[in-house]
Structure formats: structure tokens, C-alpha cells
Amino acid sequence: MNIFITGASSGIGLAFAQEMLDQNHQVVVTVRKPEDKQRLEALGCFVLLIDLADIELIQPMFKQVLEYFNQQVDIVINNAAFGQVGALEDVTVVCLKRQFDVNFFAVHEITRCAIKQMRKQTGGKIVQVSSVLGIVSMKMRGAYNSSKYALDGLCDTLRLELQDTNIHISLIEPGPITSNFRKNALDNFEKTIDIENSVHSKSYQIQLARLKKVGPAAKFTLPASACVDKLNKIIKSKRPAPRYYVTFPMHLFGLLKRILSTRMLDRILGKSG
């Protein structure tokens, strides 16, 4: 099969790429850094270097994907994302827009390109990697929470609009997964938030300590291979499920979201982060 994956430099995206190569699929991936491009090419991927925040580059990029695959793409996996840390009152519109450019608008544009092609070839599967923070919210993650909530809503609508086609939309929704996500979030946090002069400066010191911690920062953290199992289920299924939860926290909060009142859930979430 021909499989396209965004954000394959580390974590879930890299695990997906390695697994698909091991299964002898043709794999095209995107990365942002030249050193990651060289590393993924050495594994056997066709690699496109792109900053997905630049929406104007996406359609030309997808054209390259289709040219490499000879106009047949079977699976599109939108994995690329980053985390904007900071209290919402400290997050500027510029920061919020970049969060949505990568985590939402780029996903939407790639999905539009994929649907157009999959209609021509009468089928295909689109996999969106979301998060536990797409169903519940945490303090200091408002920008990221919002982008993932939007992604879940996008997918819920797409499923309805594609009911009469053989194009399937699935969400993989992980909780804590081992990756470079915290490192990248730390770099972005320090660049974009005035930590010392914020009314939240004390809370930010806790966030800095958490982001700098070596090893898992949360209980029940799983390796990226836990998401690979869900991807394999999607690929093998004729009718994949709308959602695939990964990690105990994802299952727990999925349940609590359904059974608790908003006030009760707020009390629990207010103690976290």
C-alpha cells in the first residue's frame, strides 16, 4: 500500500513509518529539519521537507506525494503537531494562530487534498492523530486543547459527509506517549511566553520542571508502539472505528467525560497540570 505520514521525525510518526516500512509498504513522510530528512531517507522513506504552518505549501507538497505514488494514496496519516504551553491570557493571537496552523489548518488542507484524490480512486483511509486533550482540558494547555477539540469536531463532521463513500476517517487518541513532544513544547514555551512577568509565573516554574524532567513526566506513559497497534487495526479493517483510545488515562477520561457532570470533572482536572 501507499502510505503518507506527516511529522515522522520522532515519537508516533516515526514509529508509524518504521512499522509500515517493515510491512513493505511504500512510505512518504514529512519532517521540518534537514537532519531528520537524511535519517528517514536512510530508513527507506521518501521524505518531504516542509513547515506545515505554511499552508500555501501543502497543495504543491501533496502533488509530490501523488506523483511518487503514481496517483494512488491508500492511507493518509495526519500526525504532525506541537504543544503551545501557557495560560490563555498569556498566549498571543500570533501564537494561537501558529498552533492552529500546524495542528488544525494543515490537517484540514491535507485532508481536503486526500479526499479529492480518494474520491477519484473510490476509496481510502484518513487517520488523524488527536489527544486525550481533545476530549478533556488541562490548565496551561489552552491553545493545544482548543486545536485538538477542533480536530475531533472536524472528524465527526467528515464521517457524516463521507457516509456514502468508501473513504474512512479515524481518530487515534493517545494519552501520554514517549516522544520529543515535551522537549519541543519546552523550546516553544520559553520562546513565546513572558514567564517571569506573568501572574502565572509560579505555575510556570512547575511547568518548566515538568517539561525538563528526564524520562516519563506522567504515570501510565506508553511507548509509541502502543499507537502502532491501533494503526494496524485501522489498516486491516474494512470499516475502521471512528476512534481508537491509547493509554489508561485516555480510557479513564473518556469514561469520566461521559459519566460526570462538568463541575465534577473540572474539580478533577483542576488538580492536574
User: Which residues are designated catalytic?
Assistant: 144
Q: Are strands 75-78 and 124-129 parallel, antiparallel or unpaired?
A: parallel
The helix (H) or strand (E) run that includes residue 48 is strand 46-49
Name residue 170's beta-bridge partners: 127
| Calpha distance 174→219 (Å, rounded) | 13
Long-range own/partner contacts, residues 160-166 (CB < 8 A, 24 or more apart): 162/115, 165/118, 165/119, 165/122, 165/123, 166/122, 166/123, 166/124
Nearest Cα residue to 32 out of 146, 180, 172: 180
| Torsion angle of the four alpha carbons 135, 255, 232, 175, in this order, in degrees rounded to the nearest 10 | 50
Q: How far is residue 164 from each of residues 119, 152, 262, measured CA to CA in Å?
A: 11, 20, 35
| Calpha distance 241→169 (Å, rounded) | 8
Strands, DSSP E only, in 60-196? 75-78, 124-129, 167-174
Nearest Cα residue to 172 out of 94, 106, 77, 81: 77
- Secondary structure (3-state) at 2: strand
Q: Which residues contact 176 (CB under 8 A, 6 or more apart)?
A: 216, 217, 218, 219, 220, 221, 222, 247, 249
